[in-house]
Amino acid sequence: MVDLYIATLICGQTYPVNFDVIPSGRPLSVLTNSVRFGYYSTRYKFSREVSRFNAYIKDYSSMPSFWQSGSKNKADTGVPDVVGLMVSLMVGMKYTETEAWNCPIGKSVWLTATHAILNGSESKIVSAKAKAFMDAEKKKKAKAEKKEES
């Protein structure tokens, strides 16, 4: 209950972050607000709230799968991935800094990947059809292995 309370406070923030809304860390303050949050969540079905939060996170962070190239010579630039995404949004798609930081991570990856591909990058996104085929093949293989073990 405490974790969900704090997670909703953090995820409800936009850039620039207002740290005043996040509990100060005083255990009594966090506990009091969590109990209050838990009361309302229980009143409105806590398990449903957890499911809704999980759906939010899954949607917010859904990003494409990429085909892996044979070589793994990706040079480590030292730039954190999230900073690279933000700069790509600002430079390539003219987002403001605030818009870039408030863009969902999954959407950021989709936008920057698509922008890179449209500008000649060799990256290739795995299509939904190909992903479904690979998942089906993986299930077949697991089923065959399970059958062999029996």
What's the Cα-to-Cα distance from 86 to each of 53, 77, 82, rounded to whole Å?
Answer: 25, 15, 6
Which 8-state DSSP code applies to residue 120?
A: T
Q: Count how many Cα atoms sit within 13 Å of the Cα of residue 96 in the half-sphere of its side chain.
A: 5
Residue 125, classed as helix, strand or coil, is strand
What was the pLDDT predicted at 143?
A: 86
**Alpha carbon distance, N-terminus to C-terminus of the chain:** 43
Q: Indicate the range of 4-18, 29-43, 114-128 predicted with least confidence.
A: 29-43
pTM over the 0.85 mark = no
How do residues 91-144 score in pLDDT, each as one tens digit? Answer: 988 999 999 998 888 889 889 888 888 888 877 888 888 888 888 999 998 888
